[in-house]
Structure 1
Amino acid sequence: MTAVSSRPRLSRGTHLGYATGSIGTAAFGTVPGLLLLYYLTDVLGVAAGIAGLVVFAPKAWDVLLNPWIGSRSDRTAGRWGPRRPWMLAGGITLPPLFVLVFAGPSAPPAAAAVWVAVTFLLAATAYGCFQVPYVAQPAEITDDPDERSTLMSWRVAALAVGILLAGAGAPAVVDAFGDGRGGYLAMAVFVAALLALGMLGAVVGTRNAPTLTRVRTEGRLLATLRLAWKARPFRVLLTGFVVQALGIGVMLAGVPYYSEQVLGDPAAGTLLFAALVGPAILVMPVWLRVGRRVGKRAGLLAASLLFTGAAGALAVVPESGTGAAVALVALVGVGYAGMQMFPLAMLPDVIAADEASSGARRAGVFTGVWTAAETLGLAIGPGLLGGLLALAGYVSSTGDEVVAQSGGAVLAVRVGFTLVPALFVLASLPVLARYRLDAVPTQEVPA
């Protein structure tokens, strides 16, 4: 056990270096949720229900994997610190594995589904190696809550840039290369480059970041998980965040379906995605000021209400109403930016408060549980949409085949993209309203 001590504020280079990692996490967090379900149903010909299961099952593995990664990284020692070796392993392995997800051989739909499931499982494993320690870093490199908010504002701004590059760029690459298997393979190479740039950039960019917290490391994983869950602020924040992730996962997966089946314009998907994430770059300083003025919890509730109202209004946008849809999605994006920034700024506060009171280093376990639950929520979202489409009779297709969908299927697309996300986020508000965490001053832990 060693002392927890104050250090000067983090350098601008560390802010930027840490934030760079979010370009990679945004790419992997966005593109599978946006395109993988559609790739399975409308390119490989996999039935919607099975496709939803394929997207969900590999991410469910993270529920077991991520807490283990967090626990192991808590106990990692060396000149690189406890987190960066794991981040490097994920940054090296994920890009080629992501390409493999979309590089399967021509095969019947069942075999194609198996290929995607296996390679996506491996990719999710590599992603966990990076994401879990990456999220744990802010609680260890600064002991100032305001500094963490600033760090998170940089991260969420980079997250918005990454989502914009991946979410708008990936469909554009698919279109440019033929909208079939070749187009999706070219898209995978493009996204792999973003993954490598962001993840390896964070490994390099945080090389000079201090590790302020070096306290007693908790031993047994299951015991630590139970203790983490007993931390009420963490439990409340995590529950609300996961419910919101469910809604966001459904909305992301619904973008290509909504643009094609409701708006009648497949190219509108790029506009919708740009409208969803573009505002974050502009409004992040505003949300940062809101958090400092009224508190992070109040800021999160305000952002969530804005998301809910704008997403619900999308349900009445008429067919071919691309302009109105883009405007409302931009409002959704303003709320979405706050919904990303505030929980990420609150999580390090929860971790630091736990360490100050317990003297145990559990940052990796906390973030392992957090990322596992977030990943599961984002994975269940496309699965829910796939199930909804299957119940409504959505007809899958292969290649350039055009299938006229029934009115019920089109309605399911509309509801899945608008009302379902709005209801999930609305349901999270009573949970998040119960979040309480008083500021915990920096404490000296006896050596």
Structure 2
Amino acid sequence: MITPAAGTVTVPKSVRLGYGVGSFCTATFNGVPGLLLLFYMTNFLAVPAWLAGVVVTAPKVWDLFVNPLVGRWSDRTASRWGPRRPWLLAGACTLPIAFFLVFAGPPLTGVPAALYVGACFLAAATAYALFEVPYKAMPGEMTDDYHERTSLLQWRMVFVGAATAISGVLAPAIATSDGQDGTLGSYRVMALTIAVILLLAMLGSFFGTARAPMTGAPEPDRGGWREQLAAVKDNPAFLWLTVLACVQMLAVSMMLAAAPYFATYTLGSASATQTLFAALVGPILLTMPLWVRVARRFDKRGAMLLAVLLFGGGTTAAMATPLFGPLWAHLTILVVGVGYAGLQLMQFSMLADVIAVDAATTGKRRAGVLTGLWTAIESGVSAFGALIFGIILTIGGFVESEPSTFVRQPDSAVAAVLIGQTAVPALIIFASALITLKYRLTPPGAPASPSSG
């Protein structure tokens, strides 16, 4: 294994804060549609569950094309703001508008409503890519130290926790403010509120990273797509990390899509979505220093395995919610939250390591290409979580509806909700433990591994 040079660049505290605040965008945009969009379409726009799942999935598949393209552009960008920050500004100017339009709720139902939401969500996904890909590429270029990157990214994860609170607590609270399940009007207010938060976070990250260091500043890789993809194919650490992230985020996206249904049909109250997410978010805000110490003590792979066990164990235990009630559900989600905090921190820290090692090995700036491919594949695969859950609902006989029409779901649909929230995500997340063993990029001074590249 080849590691970066030993001269450590310490990232200033102001830059850590400026970079971290951008996670209000990345976590909120992933969280709010993942949590509310499927429910919004099936219960407010009378879109069949399977079609709603397709709508949530299709724009994410588009990421497979647009994210690598944005990464390639940002690698080759030369400006007084650096290669990444112009793209942060471009995303800030477009994403808030597109996000609001997704939940604007025109007088449409069924297939026309699905087409409208799908078109707006596609535009939002494109605008998000302009920000997300360069944003995630930056940590690997800010410092050349293996553990400093984890320390830097714990600040990001604190903001992820705060953003997850907005996604899981504030957004559902606004959406349901006009009744137990909400109205089209309350969803519009929610969308406007979140759009403003996105704008402020993205602009804050643009201005806050103005003094971000750039280690090494290698030349951009000007090879063609074929050469760049061939280089990625020969990077085992990147390939295994991408597979790992895809599997884990597939499980997470299923749980996000299932959460409002779980709250409504298993716990008996849609408003329980907020308290469930409070249980999920709390550990993210409180356990970052602990996860940094675990990663230093057992390395990042060991920390990832522990996080998988906590996430999977909590999800499995949640299957007993019908027997033990809402308190049990919240306690198990609390355990899931501790594991989820570790998963997120280790994923992004490992990605920064892969980017830094690639630059040190090749002398080329390919952070954008690597990040674009990683986020595109991860996003595309994870989007299938909502589709899979929608199919599970359809198999269970779930009946779509409009706010004016009360529908009593059959027992088979209620059972499908529980399975989609617990059993299936647990199986997926436990499978990621085996994949974690294939990732072998180690810190400086550790024994080299044939699989680490």
TM-score range, shorter chain: over 0.9
Give the Å deviation of 1:321.
1.0
Alignment of 1:329-344 (within 5 A): 329-344=333-348
Query: Contact 1:83/1:133 (CA < 8 Å) preserved in 2?
Result: yes
Alignment pair present for 1:382 and 2:355? no
Alignment pair present for 1:214 and 2:235? no
Residue 167 of structure 2 is matched in structure 1 by: 166
Give the Å deviation of 1:217.
1.7
Rounded to whole Å, the distance in 2 between the matches of 1:68 and 1:375 is 15
Residue 183 of structure 2 is matched in structure 1 by: 180
Query: Contact 1:264/1:319 (CA < 8 Å) preserved in 2?
Result: no
Alignment pair present for 1:283 and 2:287? yes
Residue-by-residue CA offset, 1:67-112 (whole Å, 9 max, x unaligned): 1100110000111000000111001110011001111420231111
Rounded to whole Å, the distance in 2 between the matches of 1:34 and 1:280 is 18
Query: Contact 1:174/1:186 (CA < 8 Å) preserved in 2?
Result: yes
Alignment pair present for 1:45 and 2:49? no
**Letter matched to residue 17 of structure 2:** L
Residue 69 of structure 2 is matched in structure 1 by: 68
Query: Contact 2:308/2:430 (CA < 8 Å) preserved in 1?
Result: yes
Give the structure-1-normalised TM-score: 0.96
Secondary structure class of the residue paired with 1:112: helix
Residue-by-residue CA offset, 1:323-370 (whole Å, 9 max, x unaligned): 110011001000000000011011111111111111121100110011
Q: 1:145 to 1:400 in 2, by over 3 A?
A: farther
Query: Contact 1:6/1:212 (CA < 8 Å) preserved in 2?
Result: no
Give the structure-2-normalised TM-score: 0.94
**How many residues in Structure 1 have an aligned counterpart in Structure 2?**
439
Alignment of 1:281-360 (within 5 A): 281-318=285-322, 321-360=325-364
Rounded to whole Å, the distance in 2 between the matches of 1:424 and 1:296 is 20
Query: Contact 1:21/1:201 (CA < 8 Å) preserved in 2?
Result: yes
**Letter matched to residue 400 of structure 2:** S
Give the Å deviation of 1:378.
2.8
Alignment pair present for 1:203 and 2:213? no
Instruction: Flag structure 1 segments of 5+ consecutive residues without an equivalent.
Output: 442-447
Residue 415 of structure 1 is matched in structure 2 by: 419
Give the Å deviation of 1:6.
4.3
Rounded to whole Å, the distance in 1 between the matches of 2:90 and 2:46 is 34
Residue 445 of structure 1 is matched in structure 2 by: none
Q: 1:400 to 1:274 in 2, by over 3 A?
A: farther
Residue 238 of structure 1 is matched in structure 2 by: 242
Secondary structure class of the residue paired with 1:317: helix
Rounded to whole Å, the distance in 1 between the matches of 2:8 and 2:188 is 46
Query: Contact 1:68/1:221 (CA < 8 Å) preserved in 2?
Result: no
Alignment pair present for 1:17 and 2:18? yes
Rounded to whole Å, the distance in 2 between the matches of 1:194 and 1:177 is 21
Rounded to whole Å, the distance in 2 between the matches of 1:196 and 1:333 is 27
**Letter matched to residue 420 of structure 1:** V
Query: Contact 2:8/2:145 (CA < 8 Å) preserved in 1?
Result: no
Rounded to whole Å, the distance in 2 between the matches of 1:97 and 1:4 is 42
Query: Contact 1:312/1:418 (CA < 8 Å) preserved in 2?
Result: yes
Query: Contact 1:71/1:221 (CA < 8 Å) preserved in 2?
Result: no
**Letter matched to residue 280 of structure 1:** I
Query: Contact 1:180/1:400 (CA < 8 Å) preserved in 2?
Result: no
Rounded to whole Å, the distance in 1 between the matches of 2:5 and 2:338 is 37
Query: Contact 2:6/2:145 (CA < 8 Å) preserved in 1?
Result: no
Residue-by-residue CA offset, 1:253-310 (whole Å, 9 max, x unaligned): 1110001111112211111111111211111111111001110110011001110011
Residue-by-residue CA offset, 1:219-261 (whole Å, 9 max, x unaligned): 2134212311320001111101110100000001111000111
Rounded to whole Å, the distance in 2 between the matches of 1:186 and 1:355 is 45
Query: Contact 2:20/2:156 (CA < 8 Å) preserved in 1?
Result: yes
Rounded to whole Å, the distance in 1 between the matches of 2:186 and 2:324 is 26
Residue-by-residue CA offset, 1:351-407 (whole Å, 9 max, x unaligned): 111111111211001100111122113311111101111111100001242211111
Query: Contact 2:146/2:444 (CA < 8 Å) preserved in 1?
Result: no
Query: Contact 1:18/1:206 (CA < 8 Å) preserved in 2?
Result: yes
Alignment pair present for 1:396 and 2:400? yes
Secondary structure class of the residue paired with 2:45: coil
Q: Percent identity?
A: 45
Pairwise CA RMSD? 1.5
Alignment pair present for 1:191 and 2:194? yes
Deviation above 6 Å: which 4+ runs of structure 1? none
Query: Contact 2:241/2:439 (CA < 8 Å) preserved in 1?
Result: yes
Rounded to whole Å, the distance in 1 between the matches of 2:27 and 2:367 is 22
Residue 59 of structure 2 is matched in structure 1 by: 58
Residue 449 of structure 2 is matched in structure 1 by: none
Residue 129 of structure 2 is matched in structure 1 by: 128
Rounded to whole Å, the distance in 1 between the matches of 2:427 and 2:69 is 32
Give the Å deviation of 1:318.
1.6
Q: 1:239 to 1:39 in 2, by over 3 A?
A: same
Rounded to whole Å, the distance in 2 between the matches of 1:155 and 1:310 is 24
Rounded to whole Å, the distance in 1 between the matches of 2:50 and 2:397 is 10
**Letter matched to residue 63 of structure 2:** D
Give the Å deviation of 1:16.
0.6
Query: Contact 2:240/2:439 (CA < 8 Å) preserved in 1?
Result: yes
Q: 1:248 to 1:313 in 2, by over 3 A?
A: same
Query: Contact 1:4/1:213 (CA < 8 Å) preserved in 2?
Result: no
Query: Contact 1:177/1:186 (CA < 8 Å) preserved in 2?
Result: no
